[in-house]
Amino acid sequence: MKKVILLLALCLSTAAVFTSCRDERSGVEKAADDIEDAAEDAGDAVEDAVD
């Protein structure tokens, strides 16, 4: 019985550790997102200019 409780406590604490960690984006990923957003904005501007 004691081992079952300890195993459950270990599983719950492991799950809490992995789910509580935030996914940090690196500078490269942020820059790539900024470039993608700028390209979309430029495409929208071109479409608006054509209309």
Three-state DSSP class for residue 23: coil
| pLDDT of the residue at 36 | 87
| pLDDT of the residue at 21 | 58
Rounded mean pLDDT, 3-28: 77
Apex 40 CA angle, 36 and 41, nearest 5: 115
Report pLDDT digits (tens) over 18-50. 775 566 667 778 888 888 888 888 888 887 777
Does the CA dihedral 20-26-29-30 come out positive or negative? positive
pTM: 0.47
- Please give the span between the terminal C-alpha atoms of the chain, in angstroms, as a whole number: 73
| pLDDT of the residue at 15 | 81
CA 50 to chain centre: 36
User: Higher pLDDT residue, 15 or 22?
Assistant: 15
Q: What CA–CA distance (Å, rounded) separates 42 from 20?
A: 37
